Amino acid sequence: MARQRNTKLEALLTEFGYTHTQLADEVNQTAEDTFGKPTQCTDRHVRRWIAGDVQWPWSRYLLPLQEIFGRSPEAMGFMPRKSSRVPAPPPPRPARAKEQRPVRRREFIAVGLAAALGLDAIPTAGRLGTGDVERIRAIVPALYGYDHALGGGALHEVAVQALQQVHHALNHCTYGERVERALYAATGDLAASAGWFAYDAGRQATATGLYNEALQAGMLAGDGQLQARVWSNLAMQARLRDRDQEALRIGRAAVETRQAKTDPRLMALLHCRQAVGHARVGERVRAERSLSRAETSYGRASGEPAAWLSFLTPAELTGLAGAAHHALGKYGRAQQLTADALGMLEAGFARNRVYYTLQRAQALLDGGDVEHAADEAGQAATMAERVHSDRVRGRLSDLRQQMRRYAGSVPEAADFLERTRRTGA
């Protein structure tokens, strides 16, 4: 029998706003979270399903697909063989009530945001003008206002939804050359932002795909600043994966761009991140030189920052300096700088407040002050219940792991572990 393209599954991807890579990530995540069985699904699997090369996927893929789309295999366009049968889903892993409440809250936020952002106003047909471009550009500042307070876990899905609607407009509307260039710049800005939210939410494969899309849009728009921004975020991602030398090379490429050299805020951020990178590989002199350059660059900044750079305040610069000193093993200086950053941090930056509180706790712990470290970590755990950030959860989990060695000798450490165990933090 000649293979037939699976148009039903293809339509579901469009309806739900998934790229091939994003659906593969979702299959892996659903398998792990819901059924407790990790899979190795990739975009190649998804392409083969759509092309009709695979007419009935293995159960390890079919079960998550049923969970994601809420449809039977046949409704997703799959054709059973004589020996095929619909697999019965295994019982889901038990979840504590504390784990389910943030999920419902995150879904509520996403639904409300989609309405608040006015995504329905993005045209689906006709001719696009500069007013339409401005409406698309306005999405990113609105998203970042929520990001500072909530974290990327609450935002990455709605950002991808917005991006899919912009793609539809790009492919189904008409526009002139000048508007086209502006549309690609706006699309790249949105893709880079969605990538950042996915990064913060722990969806690294999704983040990489979105960053690559932003780079392509930046090249089509001739937007060098967008490209430098994405390179910097890719460097952060490499560092997260402990590829420090790669991160430094990517960051160096961003620093050398013409656009970075003409934007003091962007240059300040790049030098700060390079300082942390140099510190992580033990290059003290280069780390200190990068911190000095960051301070000099920031001093030259004027006017209002771009939305994605609105987080770069004196508090953030000081916090990043604390991270660099911590990586160099200068724990006393690191905890003091981080305390200074927390003192300067504005009220709206809830996610960063939790992050830097954990950074200070880590510096105190590494410096031998276990009692104060436990107290600081406990405050962070309480605040962390209000944000959706995988980076925050990761740092808190690492601190809990390290605190266990002191539970028998330091009452404050035992109390921290018990409180966070009870709350599921």
pTM assigned to the model? 0.70
Q: Tell me what pLDDT residue 121 has.
A: 75
> Other CB atoms closer than 10 Å to residue 161's CB: what's the count?
18
Of 62-71, 229-238, 396-405, the poorest mean pLDDT is in: 62-71
Of 103-117, 163-177, 396-410, the poorest mean pLDDT is in: 103-117
Summarize the confidence of residues 134-152 as an average pLDDT.
Answer: 83
Predicted confidence (pLDDT) per residue in 111-132, tens digit: 556 556 767 778 888 998 988 8
Predicted confidence (pLDDT) per residue in 50-100, tens digit: 999 898 998 888 888 887 887 888 889 998 765 444 444 444 444 333 344
Tokens found for residue 35 = 């059924």
Handedness of CA 329, 330, 331, 336 (dihedral sign): negative
Residue 127: strand pairing partners: 174
CA distance 232 to 41: 28
Burial annotation 30-45 (CB, 10 A radius, 16+ → b, else e):
bbeebbeeebebbbeb
**Enclosing H/E stretch for 223:** none
CA distance 28 to 33: 9
Q: Contact at 8 Å (CB) between 12 and 76?
A: yes
Predicted confidence (pLDDT) per residue in 194-203, tens digit: 999 999 988 8
Q: Contact at 8 Å (CB) between 297 and 264?
A: yes
More confident residue, 151 or 252: 252
On the CB side of 173, CA atoms within 13 Å amount to 22
- CATH number 1.10.260 given to 7-74: yes
Q: What angle do CA 147, 152, 156 make, to 5 degrees?
A: 110
Predicted confidence (pLDDT) per residue in 282-320, tens digit: 999 999 999 999 999 999 999 989 889 999 999 999 999
Q: Contact at 8 Å (CB) between 416 and 396?
A: no
Q: Tell me what pLDDT residue 122 has.
A: 82
SS3 262: helix
Q: Would you place residue 423 in the very low, low, confident or very high pLDDT band (cuts 50, 70, 90)?
A: low
Predicted confidence (pLDDT) per residue in 254-281, tens digit: 998 888 888 999 999 999 999 999 999 9
